[in-house]
Amino acid sequence: MLPITSLKNPRVQEAVRLRDRRHREQQGWTLIDGARELRRALAAGVRLHEAFFCPVLCQGEDARYLLAALPECGCPAWEVSTAVFEKLAFGQRTEGVLGVAETPRRRLDELSVPADAMIAVLEGVEKPGNLGAVLRSADATGVAAVVVADGRTDLFNPNAIRASLGTIFSMPVCECTSGEALTWLDTRGFSIFAARVDGAVPYTDVDCRGPTAIVLGNEAQGLSDVWVGPKVQAVRLPMLGVADSLNLSVTAAVLFYEALRQRR
């Protein structure tokens, strides 16, 4: 079969439309751009609807692996010209492979985690890049699942996929309301630690060895009042300098790694 060379090819145009959130949500599909991300998605069992590849751009190990693996994926894999690939790919990313995948969806009541798990809850996260960065740290620290509560971005936004380095596919992730998340955690006996700039207790003074939920708020407004009350302990990170806040992904990583230190 000849490579697709026309930017007006309907398959290409349909894939490009998936850059639009509304279209992704209508279709239940997302774009997976980047060889490492696509490889991790396949390893995690994500179902591909179709794939595009441009052999001359496939330079890295992951891209070459995918070139060999795509024919076995049971979905159409379209060879495209460099110009078409550059239209499909995001920004500077031209790693030669791009997948259109069914968006994995998991409900809170489908979540299955060990009884003593560490869980992360992100409330009201707005920036896909922050979501992805938190997923990357969660992956590193043995977090069992990430709950996106009252999210303000779509979970499988291509920028979230990219910032997560593809860990968004291997990590159990689900969406719900903050109230649902709190009830779910509370009924399962989780210790719930909410990161707040004015938290009463330093984060190193709480015990994260049992079932532990670490709850992080929106980039600008922090956590809602759902996370105030006797079921939730507000913890703070020391801030010794002139600035009064830390980046969301930095706060998440420090809390996850402290919990891991205690749990090991």
Where on the chain is the footprint of a copy of itself (CB under 8 A)?
40, 43, 133, 136-142, 165-167, 170-171, 204, 237-243, 246-247, 249-250, 253-254, 257-258, 260-261, 264
Q: Which is nearer to a copy of itself, 16 or 44 (CB)?
A: 44
Q: Which is nearer to a copy of itself, 68 or 242 (CB)?
A: 242
CB of 250 to a copy of itself, least distance (A): 4
CB of 84 to a copy of itself, least distance (A): 28
CB of 203 to a copy of itself, least distance (A): 9
Q: Which is nearer to a copy of itself, 73 or 260 (CB)?
A: 260
Three-state SS string over the chain comes to CCCECCCCCHHHHHHHHCCCHHHHHHHCEEEEECHHHHHHHHHCCCCEEEEEECHHHCCCHHHHHHHHHHHHCCCCEEEECHHHHHHHCCCCCCCCEEEEEECCCCCHHHCCCCCCCEEEEEECCCCHHHHHHHHHHHHHCCCCEEEEECCCCCCCCHHHHHHCCCHHHHCCEEEECHHHHHHHHHHCCCEEEEECCCCCEEHHHCCCCCCEEEEECECCCECCHHHCCCCEEEEECCCCCCCCCCCHHHHHHHHHHHHHHHHC
CB of 92 to a copy of itself, least distance (A): 14
CB of 138 to a copy of itself, least distance (A): 8
Q: Which is nearer to a copy of itself, 232 or 253 (CB)?
A: 253
Q: Which is nearer to a copy of itself, 105 or 261 (CB)?
A: 261
